[in-house]
Amino acid sequence: MKSTYSQIIQQAQGFARSVHDRDASGHDWWHVQRVTRIARLLAYLEGANPYICELSAYLHDVADEKLNESKEAGYERVQHWLKQAGVEASDQETVLEIISTMSFSGGTGRAMRTLEGQIVQDADRLDAIGTIGIARTFAYSGWKGQSMYDPYIPLREHMTREEYRKGKSTAINHFYEKLLKLKDKMNTESARLLADGKHQSLELFLQFFDKEWAMGNEAYLNESPIHRGNVSLVHITFDDSTAGSLRMMLRSKPGEIVITLDDDLMVGPLPKDHDFSHSFSTRNEWFQERYSITHADDRKLTMLQAAFAWLTLPQQLNELPCLIWAGDSASEQLGLRRLLSLIPDHLDVRLVNATSIHRQQNPNSWYRGTFEMASEKLQIVMDTSEEHVPLSPQDQAGYRADWQRLVNDDGFLRVLQGEELRTVPESYYDADILQAAYRLEARHGFFKKSARIIGEVIGMGELTVSDSFIEYRVRHLIQEGALTYNGELTAMRNYCISLVDASTPEERWTHAQRLAKVVKLKSLMSEMMEIHFAERGLMEEIHQLDTVGLGLSISSDLEAFTSSMQSQIDRLLSTYQQHQEQRVSFLGSLEKVLTQIDEKAPKE
């Protein structure tokens, strides 16, 4: 009996191969082979009859109407084959029932009665999704002569079988019309689990396709395969991290979309949108000359993508309600100003400053920018605050003027001080870098990884500047002789740095070397201050102790010891007094020197 089964399977394989060998309509031989393989495994996992599963899988597309004169003719073809192959009568019936339910139902017909049928159907559906499903869809589209995507061929929501076959569609539309629905139609648990990962491939593919369709596209919001003009609100962010959190938050609101206008606006010459190409190359060169060559291509690509976004997206926003997410960070505030100067006539722009709202609600916790806030936090801001301030024409004009002011500054670094954006010299963070080196004990002769010091600088303040910028300044400080290094000055992980004591005569010290001295003095002073205050506290406590309070006099044996102790404390206190006076006067002079240096310091 067993050998007959395997002979029949062999014959079925040969038959299916001869039927499907030259097919280009999505029913090629390898599709049938894959479905059979999957069906066989599912049969084991689900405890079904593997013979029936395999036989039905091999034959499942033989009767397809595309390969036959009519569906009836296809059905008869299978029926005839089963008979001549010597398949048992009851098995013939089961297989025919499976095949007719599968290929004539078009996904809307009656449910599959047998477990074997459910399995073959699951296997066929699994082969329609995932990357193979994607490939088959485009192959089928080519075969049928339909385009891969046309934004103006609408999705068909409810269609009859006739419309499904004959109506106008595109490969991308087919995702929405059929493929994305398949994961919820699996019959068996095993197939349902397998479908999940393959479904994700479909989603990812659509996301990437959409992103590429957006590239350079001034009609993106209308043409997007994902949004298709169904946009009720545009959330605007100035970095990918905020955009990611917002997308999570908005998962159940398909009409609300998130766009990112990213650009490292804190650093480098500002882009001038009225003279884009010139200012873009100036900006590019600025980074080129300063930033490390490692990851240079990544950086250039990021700038390129930013340019694409800034050049095509703002003009599409004019007819749409916009919600701008700009927290209290320089990059977001700069993005806000640049955007508003590009959409001067917009009537429906609102602003949400999530960091400031969060701070009002939680005075003890704060974020450096919206980009640090997780989607749950943004949700709270969204739910609890009424302060999504509509921007009045005056407000907008104010932001535009401020952008103009910053552009006119022609500077290379901008920071947020309080509410105000200020253009500052490139050397703005140099003292922080030197101080971090000092604090991490990267002092003369002791080397510390550059990455570590950069991490310390970024972590220490309200810094939102990129580590690439700080790394550039580290290399600059090396060049100026304020830091020394060993290793390779390529990526910041590849070298170590140390503060250097200039051995050159004073009149030839660079600005950076002078700064290093000052930072060293300041660090010394503040360390000494700390010790000073700690020691003073200790001494006061010791002063208040008396030996009686120590409880040592209980035993008369200890009386001698106690009195010697008391005299030692008295001596300690009196020398401390002297020491303290000297230190206070020293700190005083140190401070005076430092103020003088600060006043004289040449501004770079």
From the list ligand ADP, Ni ion, none, pick the one residue 250 interacts with, judged by a Cβ distance below 5 to 8 Å according to partner type: none
- Separation CA 121–CA 187 (nearest Å): 8
Binds Ni ion (CB under 5 A): choice among 61, 122, 239, 430? 61
| Per-residue contact flags (x/-) with Ni ion for residues 85 to 124, judged by CB under 5 A | ---------------------------------------x
Angle at 341 between CA 398 and CA 427, to 5 degrees: 80
Among 74, 130, 133, 327, binds ligand ADP (CB under 6 A): 133
Compute the distance between CA of residue 306 and CA of residue 285 in angstroms, rounded to an integer.
16
Which CB sits closer to ligand ADP, 104 or 447? 104
38 or 334, CB closer to Ni ion? 38
Compare residues 174 and 290 and give the one whose CB is closer to ligand ADP: 174
Give CA separation, 352 vs 257, 282, 378, 389, in Å: 16, 32, 10, 7
Cβ atoms of residues 175 and 210 within 8 Å: no
Instruction: Output 112 or 221, the one with its CB closest to Ni ion.
Output: 112
Nearer to ligand ADP, 171 or 512 (CB): 171
Angle between helices 50-59 and 2-20 (to 10 degrees): 20
| C-beta of 163 vs 501, nearer to ligand ADP | 163
Among 169, 224, 260, 370, binds ligand ADP (CB under 6 A): 169
Please give the residues from 444 up to 463 whose contact with Ni ion meets the rule CB under 5 A: none
Classify 296 as helix, strand or coil.
helix
Site string for Ni ion, 238-257 (x = CB under 5 A): --------------------
Longest dimension (CA), the chain: 121
- 487 Rama sector, left if φ>0, alpha if ψ -120 to 50, beta otherwise: left
Q: How far is the CB of 230 from ligand ADP (least distance, A)?
A: 22
175's tokens:
């995702």
Binding-site member from 114, 121, 141, 450 for ligand ADP (CB under 6 A): 141
Q: Considering only the stretches 56-64, 91-99, 334-342, 348-356, report the one whose residues sit in contact with Ni ion under the rule CB under 5 A.
A: 56-64
Q: Are strands 413-417 and 389-390 parallel, antiparallel or unpaired?
A: unpaired
Instruction: Compute the least distance from the CB of residue 125 to ligand ADP, in Å.
Output: 7
User: Which does residue 263 bind out of ligand ADP, Ni ion, none, counting CB within 5 to 8 angstroms by kind?
Assistant: none
Which residue's CB is nearer to ligand ADP, number 61 or number 116? 61
Choose the contact partner of 140 out of Ni ion, ligand ADP, none; CB within 5 to 8 A by kind: ligand ADP
Number of neighbours of residue 35 by Cβ within 10 angstroms = 25
Residues 541-600 that bind ligand ADP (CB under 6 A): none
DSSP-assigned states of every residue in 233-281: EEEEESSHHHHHHHHHHTTT-TTEEEEE----TTBSSPP-GGGHHHHHH
# residues near ligand ADP by CB under 6 A: 12
Cβ(60)–Cβ(102) under 8 Å? yes
Distance CA 565, CA 40 (A): 91
Strand partners of residue 420:
417
Q: Is 16 in the site for ligand ADP (CB under 6 A)?
A: no
**Residue from 140, 176, 213, 509 binding ligand ADP (CB under 6 A):** 140
Closest distance of CB 20 from ligand ADP, Å: 12
Among 23, 46, 122, 124, contact with ligand ADP (rule: CB under 6 A): 124
Q: Let me know the angle formed at the C-alpha of 337 by 335 and 339, rounded to the nearest 5 degrees.
A: 65
Contact with ligand ADP (CB under 6 A) among 77, 136, 299, 346: 136
Stretch in the footprint of Ni ion (CB under 5 A) among 57-65, 172-180, 183-191, 253-261:
57-65
Instruction: Look at the alpha carbons of 225, 231, 235, 236 in this order and tell me if their dihedral is positive or negative.
Output: positive
Give me the residue whose beta carbon is nearest to ligand ADP: 26
Residues 6+ apart with CB under 8 A from 401: none
Contact segment (CB under 5 A) with Ni ion among 54-62, 158-166, 212-220, 255-263 equals 54-62
**C-alpha distance across the termini of the chain, in Å:** 94
Helices 430-439 & 450-460 angle (0-180, nearest 10): 110
* 63 class by beta-carbon count within 10 Å (0-12 exposed, 13-18 middle, 19+ buried): buried
Taking CB within 5 to 8 Å according to partner kind, which of Ni ion, ligand ADP, none is near residue 213? none
**470 contacts 292 by C-beta, under 8 angstroms:** no
The residues in 317-376 that bind ligand ADP, with binding defined as CB under 6 A, are: none
Closest approach of Ni ion to the CB of residue 159, in Å: 20
Interface pick for ligand ADP out of 36, 56, 118, 137 (rule CB under 6 A)? 137
Residues near 332 by beta carbon (within 8 Å), at least 6 away in sequence: 238, 239, 325, 326, 369, 370, 371
Q: Please give the structure tokens belonging to residue 382.
A: 């969204």
Pick the binder of ligand ADP from 174, 338, 400, 514 (CB under 6 A).
Answer: 174
- 3-state class percentages of the chain: helix first, strand second, coil last, to nearest 5: 65, 5, 30
Residue 53: CB minimum distance to ligand ADP, A: 16
Q: How many residues does the chain have?
A: 604
> Interface with ligand ADP includes 26 (CB under 6 A)?
yes
Q: Which stretch binds ligand ADP (CB under 6 A): 134-142, 205-213, 371-379, 431-439?
A: 134-142
Which residue, chain included where needed, has tokens 């006067």?
Answer: 585
Query: Which residues of the chain form contacts with ligand ADP (CB under 6 A)?
Result: 26, 124, 128, 133, 136-137, 140-141, 169, 171, 174, 178
Residues that bind Ni ion (CB under 5 A): 61, 124
